Structure 1
Amino acid sequence: MFFKIAKIVGVALLVASGSPAVQAQEKFPNKQVRIVVPFVAGSQVDLVAREIGRRLQAVWGQAVIVDNRPGAGGTIGSRTVATAEPDGHTLMITSASHAINPTLYKKLSYDTLRDFTGVTFVNSVPNVLVVAPSLGVKSVPELLTLIRAKPGQLNFASAGIGSGTHFNGEMFKAMAKLDIVHVPYKGTGDALVDTVAGRSALYWSPLGLTLPFIKDGKLLPLAVSTADPAPVMPNLPVISTYVPGMIYDHWYGMVAPAATPKAVVDQISAEVGRILRMPEVVKSFSDQGVIAAPTSPADFNKFIASEIQRLGAVVKSANIQID
């Protein structure tokens, strides 16, 4: 009888405190948290991730680091997270490319819907079509006329093959029926520099990082990619005015490995949502043209699935594919 009782007590103690899995569920986080950003340091999504990470660290009392894993349109960093321990201590803040890549790439080493769970939508980021003043155009119609007068002679920049900026440029090329060459760079910074220098005719850039160049007169903004004007530049036209049906919302969101416990995902989602609703965060982001819009994990999962369908249809119709 003694051994039977001792066994029962031992099992109870193990359940209560001995199992690492149970401990992780009782107290999260219990070690350093890593936020993977599948793009270069200094990119718009990287800056957003660092702001969130800094504030989460203050709340959790645990180190929160941003780990940049750029390359292949975000797929390298995504693979890192898809195979990470699903305990909430590895997260990813990524862009709309997360929903584009399942159709854009012939083969992915992960399944976007099966291997990740949504944590929260983070924000919406309009892309802005910019050109250098030296190009000699001041409007979208003038730009279209110039490109059509020089078929195959001009190029558009992107932050890399498979990036959202690449997709936006290909969408513009296909829907406006343009003969223009894609030139990929290692990140937004390099693409902006070469657009300023006139080595690239145009660039669809995340608005926040481009604003200083626009304010300094180094780049001319011609249109935004979203359905509605950007609040920070309300007089700038939307691209669908000139290219009917063209709409691209360059959003960011947080995901985790698929098997991450629901309680942990819900906790992270609630805390990130609280941060994104802070008045000072809302203002800081809005000054950069970034619109914070946190959601529940369930709503973000539904959104990702719908974006895979919507953006995938554009990829197929434009015949864009990467081996």
Structure 2
Amino acid sequence: MGETAVNRREILKAGMGSLTAVAAGLPAMGPARAADWPTKAVRVVVPYAPGSATDLVPRTVLEQVGHDVGQSFVVENRPGGGTTVGSNQVKQADPDGYTMLIHSNAIVTVPAIQANVPYDPVADFSAITPLGNVPMVLVVAPSKGIKSVKELVAKAKANPGQINYGAAGIGTPPHLAMERFRLAAGFEGQLVPFKGAPEALTETMTGRIDIYFAPITPALPLIRDGKLLALTVASSKRASALPDVPTSIEAGVPDSDFDFWVGAFVPKKTPRDVVAKMHASIVKAIKTPSVQEKLGKLGVEELIMTPEAFDARIAKEAVIAKKLAKDAKIEPQ
């Protein structure tokens, strides 16, 4: 009878706790449930095409997370709407720790240049941590005969508006990196948007696109095979995977640097203890030697932040993105 009474009291306590949470408008998830996360597969929405940096990086990291926690992390590619389709699906998902969004800086840049975006990057998502920093490299087909940033800028200025440049979506980091570089270098050009990096890289290799600021992850094999020539990287320091390629600032274009990260997010009302558990699991995976080796081969550089610091960075970058869009005269579409 004693055991029955204890069990009854525990059930009543648990029930009252859930009722209290509901009455307070909070998700009914207590510490025990957060401590047990995950008890089932986690859905991972990537609003980019397969093969892009924002697809390859999370697959590498989350495979290890799944191994560590004993549950599957199922990646779903949901491109479309300039990344807004997949992002909105996660915004509307239950905030229970079982739906994750993998995004890049585009989570803040897309709302800065696209009209009627169905989410607010600050109000609708909680940031977990960046998964890594992905240097962007400006590539050109060897057949173009352009071997340096100096030669590129000279050719672009000699033929105003004739240079065309690719971008994996409007308002994405590769797009804004190119716009920042173009404005700083002082030349005009024609934007050609694509659905993803693989398509843009193919068109650049053929010479149909003159230049493309590509995430280093999908571009690196093509550079190493001599199919593309790397002119410069957009990051504030040289990429460890391409140590001989100068930064755009080193190449003579001041105020042209632009960092590109890939990060993990969940719906805003996800309990903070669950966010903390997810953060710890992801950081542990990133620190695993085998994962670091794989990320290194992809050209990804380590970038880890606390959820609070990453939230603050998102808010800051949202303001910066709006200013860059205004300076580039990108009208909301």
Return the TM-score normalized by structure 2. Answer: 0.90
2:29/2:271 contact within 8 Å kept:
no
What displacement does 1:174 show?
2.3
What displacement does 1:234 show?
1.5
The answer on 1:171 being equivalent to 2:185 is no
Alpha-carbon separation, structure 2, partners of 1:309 and 1:254: 20
1:125/1:251 contact within 8 Å kept:
yes
1:104/1:322 contact within 8 Å kept:
yes
2:78/2:85 contact within 8 Å kept:
yes
What displacement does 1:55 show?
1.4
Q: What amino acid does structure 2 have at the position aligned with 1:256?
A: V
Aligned equivalent of 2:25: none
The answer on 1:246 being equivalent to 2:219 is no
Alpha-carbon separation, structure 1, partners of 2:243 and 2:7: 72
Aligned equivalent of 2:331: 321
Q: What amino acid does structure 2 have at the position aligned with 1:143?
A: L
CA gap 1:84/1:218 in 2 versus in 1, 3 angstroms: same
CA gap 1:282/1:321 in 2 versus in 1, 3 angstroms: farther
| Structure 1 residues 16-69: Cα deviation after superposition (integer angstroms, max 9, x where no partner) | 899974464352112220111111111111011111221122122222100111
Alpha-carbon separation, structure 1, partners of 2:40 and 2:237: 42
The answer on 1:148 being equivalent to 2:149 is no
Aligned equivalent of 2:297: 287
Alpha-carbon separation, structure 1, partners of 2:94 and 2:147: 51
CA gap 1:317/1:61 in 2 versus in 1, 3 angstroms: same
Aligned equivalent of 2:3: none
1:72/1:162 contact within 8 Å kept:
no
| Structure 1 residues 166-202: Cα deviation after superposition (integer angstroms, max 9, x where no partner) | 2222222222222211111121111111100000000
Structure 2: any 5+ residue segments left out of the alignment? Answer: 1-5, 22-27
Secondary structure of the residue aligned to 2:82 is helix
Aligned equivalent of 1:296: 306
Instruction: Select between 282-291 and 254-263 the one with higher mean Cα deviation.
Output: 282-291
Aligned with residue 270 of structure 2, among 260, 276, 293: 260
Q: What amino acid does structure 2 have at the position aligned with 1:67?
A: E
CA gap 1:181/1:14 in 2 versus in 1, 3 angstroms: same
The answer on 1:123 being equivalent to 2:132 is yes
Q: What amino acid does structure 1 have at the position aligned with 2:82?
A: G
1:130/1:220 contact within 8 Å kept:
yes
Alpha-carbon separation, structure 1, partners of 2:281 and 2:8: 40
Aligned equivalent of 2:13: 12
| Structure 1 residues 250-274: Cα deviation after superposition (integer angstroms, max 9, x where no partner) | 1111111000011110000011001
CA gap 1:7/1:123 in 2 versus in 1, 3 angstroms: closer
In angstroms, what is the RMSD of aligned CA positions? 2.2
2:45/2:75 contact within 8 Å kept:
yes
Alpha-carbon separation, structure 1, partners of 2:7 and 2:43: 40
What displacement does 1:7 show?
9.2
1:24/1:87 contact within 8 Å kept:
no
Q: What amino acid does structure 2 have at the position aligned with 1:108?
A: V
Aligned with residue 211 of structure 2, among 175, 188, 202: 202
Alpha-carbon separation, structure 1, partners of 2:245 and 2:34: 48
Secondary structure of the residue aligned to 1:292 is coil
Secondary structure of the residue aligned to 2:138 is strand
Aligned equivalent of 2:171: 162
1:32/1:64 contact within 8 Å kept:
yes
Alpha-carbon separation, structure 2, partners of 1:49 and 1:287: 14
Q: What amino acid does structure 1 have at the position aligned with 2:134?
A: V
Return structure 1 stretches of 4+ with deviation > 3 angstroms. Answer: 5-10, 15-26
Aligned equivalent of 1:88: 97
Instruction: Select between 261-270 and 235-244 the one with higher mean Cα deviation.
Output: 235-244
Alpha-carbon separation, structure 2, partners of 1:74 and 1:303: 20
Q: What amino acid does structure 1 have at the position aligned with 2:322?
A: G
Secondary structure of the residue aligned to 1:255 is strand
Q: What amino acid does structure 1 have at the position aligned with 2:137?
A: V
1:88/1:264 contact within 8 Å kept:
yes
Alpha-carbon separation, structure 1, partners of 2:63 and 2:17: 32
| Structure 1 residues 228-280: Cα deviation after superposition (integer angstroms, max 9, x where no partner) | 11112122111123221111101111111000011110000011001111122
CA gap 1:16/1:315 in 2 versus in 1, 3 angstroms: closer
Structure 1: any 5+ residue segments left out of the alignment? Answer: none
CA gap 1:131/1:277 in 2 versus in 1, 3 angstroms: same
Count of residues in correspondence between the two structures: 319
The answer on 1:216 being equivalent to 2:225 is yes
Secondary structure of the residue aligned to 2:192 is strand
